Amino acid sequence: MKFVKWTFAAMWLFMGAACQDSEVDPNGPVTLTNSDFRNNTDGWIAEVTDYSTAQEEIIEFQSGHKALPEPLDVSKKSFMISGHNRSDDLFMFLKKKVTGLKPNQTYSIDFEVELASKYGDNSVGIGGSPGGSVYLKAGVLATEPKKVKEGDDYRLNIDKGNQATGSDAVPVLGNIGAGNDATQYKLIQRSTTQPITAKTNSAGELWLLVGTDSGFEGLTTLYYNKIKVVAEVKPGN
């Protein structure tokens, strides 16, 4: 009798699981990444571009898996990125490859980014505001975004726009201003106002990008705390 009861119980569990699976939309939202950098950089890679070859030794570019700065919780790790804009233009970015998507499929993709900034919206600096003139961008591409040399300058191999202007693939999420009177680090949140459209390559891969396009000629040091990216198959594709 006990065997029969266990058999029926197993059958009901199996049927329940099957019903749940049948209700899952294969084209529904899928999380491409949900990085909190608690233990590591989670596959993100830091790079910098938009500077001349003569400035290579003076842009002071640094990045790494670092503790959040005070007065935030210094026991919590983040992805720090820092650089000195020497010529009214510097693009510091993180990139990550994601796999396992449908090949040659068009997706609608949304970003949620949380980072630590200490730069005031109305702060004053050379070339522009340290907070109001440094623009956070996010993008999705089928090819790897990377630094390329063009003459005496280093540029990004894809169109990201310039400073306050983004592109279709790499829109502006906002600036890095942490409030009008900010002088200490605080966590700020930025997100896409409308989905980014991107098509996977033949291997079902995409590259994610998050970075800052600077119009402030000075040192900017930021700490990425969370990056979440969600994709959904675009209707009609």
Q: Which domains does the chain have, with CATH numbers?
A: 27-233 (2.60.120)
pLDDT tens, position by position, for the chain (237 residues)? Answer: 433 333 334 333 333 333 333 233 446 799 999 999 999 999 999 999 999 999 999 999 999 999 999 999 999 999 999 999 998 789 999 999 999 999 999 999 999 999 999 999 988 888 889 999 999 999 999 999 999 999 999 999 999 999 999 999 999 999 999 998 899 999 999 999 999 999 999 999 999 999 999 999 999 999 999 999 999 998 876
Element (H, E) at 210: strand 206-214
For every residue of 27-83, DSSP letters joined together read TS-EEEEEE--SSS-TT-EEEEESEEGGGTTTS--EEEEEEPPTTS-TTSEEEEEEE
pTM of the model: 0.87
Identity at 21, one-letter amino acid code: D
Element (H, E) at 91: strand 90-98
